[in-house]
Every structure is written in C-alpha cells, then in structure tokens.
Amino acid sequence: MDIRQTSEPQPSMPSKPYPVIRNKRVLVTGGAGFIGSNICEDLLKFNNKVICFDNFLTGFRKNIEPFLTNSNFQLIEGDIRNIEDCRRACEGADLVLHQAALGSVPRSINDPLTTNDININGFLNVLIAARDAKIKRFVYAVSSSVYGDLADLPKIEENIGNPLSPYAVTKYANELYAHVFALNYGMEIIGLRYFNVFGKRQDPNGPYAAVIPKFTMLLMAHKSPVINGDGSNSRDFTFIDNVLQMNHLAATTQNKEALGQVFNTATSERNDLNQLFNYIKEYLSLYDKDIVKIEPVYGPERQSDIPHSLASIDKAKRLLGYNPQFNLKEGLKIAVKWYYENLKILKPDISLN
C-alpha cells in the first residue's frame, strides 16, 4: 500500500537536491556489500521497502546489521546464480538496483570461471526474474573497466576499447544483455559505469582490497603502503554519495532518451596515486600526528592495469541531471574520519599487503 494514501500522519522525510526514490518496494542485489549497503541505508530514509538480496560471498552481515530491526527492511539470503532465489527476491518489487557482482580485475584473472558465473550467468538470472515479475525499471552497476585499452581521455560512453581482463568482459556482457532485454521485452534498463568508488563500509582486508581503505588501514597501523608503479597512474575516484545520487536519478528519470543507456558514474576529476596517498596521510594526521612521517614504498605495476582513467559526465548531466556533490578531497575527508572511527577496531591481516 502506498503510504501517501493513508490517513495516518507520516514522518517527515529528508530532501536532496535531486529527485529520489520514495515509497517504493526496491530490490537491491548485493545489498550487504559496500555499495549495496550504502544504497539500502539511503533508500530507507525515504520510506522505501528495501529487499536486500545477498549470499555474503563478499558482503558482510555487519554492513546491514543496523537495518535488521527496521520494518521496512527485508533480508533474503540467496545467490544470483540460482534462478529460483532471484524469482523469490523479485516478487512484488517495483524496481531493481542490481549491485551484486564479483569484483576485482586481479581476482578475475586468478579465477575467471567464478567471475563469469556470477557476473554473467547471475546477471542474466536477475534480468529474467525481473522480466517475469513484470518489473520495468532495472538499474544495474557496470564498470569503467569496459573501456579497456582505449587511451582516450576523458572516457565517453559511446567509445570503448578491447577488454583487458575477464572482469571487464563480464561487465561488457552485462551491457549487451541489458540492451537485448530492453529491446525485446520492453524493460526500462539503465546501466551505471562506476569509476573507483570509495566510502564507508569498504572492506580494507584481503588481497583484493580497494586502494583507499587499504592505504588508510596500513597508515593507521603505521605501515607503509605499496604503490604499484611510480605512483603516476591516475583514477577518477568517486565518493559513494555520488553513486547514490546516480542510482536515484536512473531509477526515477522520466526522460525516455535516458532509457536503455549507460552512464559514467564519476566526478570527472583525475588524481594520481601519489596525490591520493598524500591526501589520505594529511587527513589521517589530524587524528594521529605520527602518520605524517610515513612514506610509501613502490612496487611493480599490476597486471592488466590501465595507466589513466577519467570520465566524461556530460551525458549524465544532460540526460539525468547529474551534478556530483563531492569531489575526491571532500569525499576523502568524510571517508577517512569514518575509517579512523570504525576500521581501527578491526584486525586486518597486514601481511597480505
């Protein structure tokens, strides 16, 4: 039942400087992961019924623990590789925000079969289940890795190169399947190409940890992070709140020209790894002055790494009204504070780094 049709007084809901999903039943696949749990948390602020679907392969129960007592939150433990689990999760949903995937380029090189099984077969299962459940709007996460060996900067959605990893192949296959389902089944599907997302709840542990929480955890332990190469490789680091904005915009847009499209989800700002290290060190030094003395060590280039990445966000601005709220430095200040307050209670295996 739509709460706007009831006579009971409703609690005031927060406002944002862009359209948001409100009063919907939203399926978030991979909802216990870093990005998925942030999406779940944000959706709950706007009186949505949130179905979190996760198998906890890379997600964590601690990420969603604060939501378990919320009557608007439902956890379905299942696997996108199982079509019946997908059908159960899609039942009654108004829209899907598909975040479930096995990430990491290095992991896909080490284990291409599992990456393919989850990212392609699993994605197809969710699409089929959503189609059969008559869910029209389907927003899915893809990756800047689809640009492959294309050297052009900034990256423009219509121009991609050859993939450099099994992971990139799977994410491009997602885009092809999404196009075919929109074409043949009338689904309103939008893809979001994420660029190096960071923020609270990003896991700092393990051999496939993302660079920002990994650097942060090592600095907090007074260890020197290893920078692959000479530190000149650059990325378009994207704060999680910008990703939240893009999911809201893609899910609510009434612009027919935006349907069936993919959009870069980034800030259109490029920073190299040396700059990133210095920013993290500067912001952590506010909490621990000894960190300012730590310097990085330099190691070999990582296999299949691209040297530079920078997104054009002109298409997202034009068709979705996207206006990123945070650049790298603004997002890092918030993220580092969260990392310092929360990650210090963890016990990372520093030997992995």
- Just list the catalytic residues: 167
Q: How far, rounded to the nearest angstrom, does the alpha carbon of residue 328 sit from its chain's CA centroid?
A: 16
Q: Other CB atoms closer than 10 Å to residue 256's CB: what's the count?
A: 9
Pair type for strands 234-235 and 271-272: antiparallel
Contacts of 307 (CB under 8 A, 6+ apart): 232, 233, 234
317 phi and psi, to 5 degrees?
-65, -45
Dump the DSSP string for 27-87: EEETTTSHHHHHHHHHHHTTT-EEEEEE--SS--HHHHGGGTT-TTEEEEE--TTSHHHHH
Establish whether the linkage from the previous residue to 307 is cis, with ω within 30° of 0.
Answer: no
Q: Other CB atoms closer than 10 Å to residue 304's CB: what's the count?
A: 18
58 phi and psi, to 5 degrees?
-125, -10
CB 138 within 8 A of CB 180: no
Strands (E), 181-334: 188-194, 197-198, 226-228, 234-235, 238-239, 262-265, 271-272, 297-299
